[in-house]
Amino acid sequence: MKPALRLVSSFGALVASFVLSACAADLSPQGAQVQVSDEHMVRHCQYIGDVTGNSGDAATARNDARNRAAAMGATNVVFIGQGRSVSGEVMPVDSNGRAYRCPAGEQPPPASAAPPAPPVPAPGT
């Protein structure tokens, strides 16, 4: 490859990476209220719709999906998949999920809550 063509190609990749990072989704205050859940936790909740977040990395793509779920009025999101989209030389990440609205009195515990520790047997038993 000629040096000038290599420079143009490298410059294009650099510009694309800056564009993607500029589009990076910070978790909004509303998105922060959307809990990441599993299917069991939302079994009594109303399904609202599918959401897809997109960014240059997985964590930011999930933030984007949570922000979109919040805009739909969701209280919870269940992530169902993640993949890469091909766009020129840049490979952004898609994070796919399902958005749910759970009644206020029936909010499931956060997915990060650890289950209670099992009881310890008494010595000599």
CATH number at residue 79: 3.30.110.70
- The pLDDT value recorded for residue 6 is 53
29 belongs to a structural domain = no
List per-block mean pLDDT (blocks of 10 residues) for the chain, which spans 125 residues: 52 44 73 95 95 92 97 96 67 90 71 50 59
State which residues form the domain around 92: 35-105
Nearest to 26 by CA among 1, 8, 53, 52: 53
Work out how many domains the chain is built from and give that number: 1
Decide: pTM greater than 0.85: no
Q: Tell me the backbone φ, ψ of residue 8, rounded to 5 degrees.
A: -65, -45
